[in-house]
C-alpha cells in the first residue's frame, strides 16, 4: 500500500538496520522503504524494536479481530487472498504504468489510468485491460475496507 513510512524524530532505527531495512530522507524526515525488509515469513523480524509508527498502526481488520467480529483464521485467509491479488496486480500495473521511480499502489493506479486516458485508442485500451481494471478495483476495496487504519493518528505513510 505504501512506498515509504516516516520514522518519528529521534527514534532508534538500529533494530531495523540490523535486519536490512532500507532508509531514505524526505523533508528532513527519515523514512523506511516498503515493502519492509523486516517482514519475513508472515512476521516482523524486528518486532521488539519496531518503530512507533508500526506500534500505532491498527488496521480495520485488526480492530475487527479484537472486537470478535472476525476470527483469526478468517483474518489470515483474507490477508493471504489480498496478498495474492496484490502480487497479481502490481506487476501488471508496473508494466502498464512504466513508473520512473518506485511508486506505492495508489501512485501506480493513477499513472496507469492517466496513460490509458491519454492513449489515442483509450476505449479499446481500457477494454483490453478489463480484467486488470476489475482486479485493481477489487484490491482497492479490500485495502480500504480492511487494511487502512481507521484514525489519522495511527500512521504516517505514503
Q: Between residues 4 and 93, which has the closer beta carbon with respect to ligand SF4? A: 4
Residue 120 phi, psi dihedral angles, 5° rounding: -60, -35
Q: Between residues 7 and 116, which has the closer beta carbon with respect to ligand SF4? A: 7
- 104: burial class by Cβ within 10 Å (0-12, 13-18, 19+)? middle
Q: How is residue 61 annotated by DSSP?
A: H
Q: Segment 50-109, which members bind ligand SF4 (CB under 6 A)?
A: 50, 54
Q: Segment 137-156, which members bind ligand SF4 (CB under 6 A)?
A: none
Kindly state the smallest distance separating residue 39's Cβ from ligand SF4, in Å.
4
Kindly state the smallest distance separating residue 136's Cβ from ligand SF4, in Å.
23
Kindly state the smallest distance separating residue 121's Cβ from ligand SF4, in Å.
41
Segments of the chain assigned E as strands: 4-6, 23-26, 29-33, 39-40, 43-44
Q: State the SS3 of 12-31.
A: CCHHHHHCCCCEEEECCEEE
Determine, following the binding rule CB under 6 A, whether residue 46 of this chain makes contact with ligand SF4: yes
Task: Tell me which of 13, 17, 39, 64 binds ligand SF4, using CB under 6 A.
Answer: 39
Determine, following the binding rule CB under 6 A, whether residue 126 of this chain makes contact with ligand SF4: no
Q: What share of the chain is helix, strand, coil (3-state, %, to 5)?
A: 55, 10, 35
Kindly state the smallest distance separating residue 13's Cβ from ligand SF4, in Å.
10
What is the residue whose three cell numbers read 511508486? 103
Residue 27 phi, psi dihedral angles, 5° rounding: 50, 45
Determine, following the binding rule CB under 6 A, whether residue 36 of this chain makes contact with ligand SF4: yes
Which residues make up the interface to ligand SF4 (CB under 6 A)? 16, 36, 38-39, 44, 46, 50, 54
Amino acid at each position: 500500500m505504501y512506498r515509504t513510512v516516516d520514522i518519528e524524530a529521534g527514534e532508534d532505527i538500529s533494530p531495523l538496520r540490523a535486519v536490512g531495512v532500507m532508509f531514505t530522507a524526505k523533508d528532513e524526515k527519515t523514512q523506511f522503504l516498503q515493502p519492509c525488509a523486516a517482514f519475513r515469513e508472515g512476521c516482523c523480524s524486528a518486532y521488539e524494536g519496531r518503530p512507533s509508527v508500526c506500534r500505532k498502526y491498527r488496521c480495520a481488520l485488526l480492530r475487527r479481530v479484537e472486537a470478535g467480529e472476525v476470527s483469526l483464521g478468517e483474518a489470515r485467509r483474507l490477508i493471504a487472498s489480498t496478498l495474492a491479488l496484490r502480487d497479481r496486480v502490481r506487476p501488471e500495473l508496473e508494466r502498464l504504468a512504466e513508473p520512473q521511480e518506485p511508486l506505492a499502489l495508489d501512485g501506480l493506479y493513477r499513472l496507469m489510468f492517466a496513460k490509458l486516458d491519454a492513449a489515442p485508442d483509450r476505449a479499446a485500451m481500457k477494454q483490453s485491460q478489463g480484467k486488470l481494471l476489475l482486479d485493481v478495483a477489487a484490491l482497492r476495496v479490500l485495502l480500504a475496507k480492511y487494511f487502512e487504519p481507521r484514525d489519522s493518528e495511527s500512521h504516517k505513510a505514503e
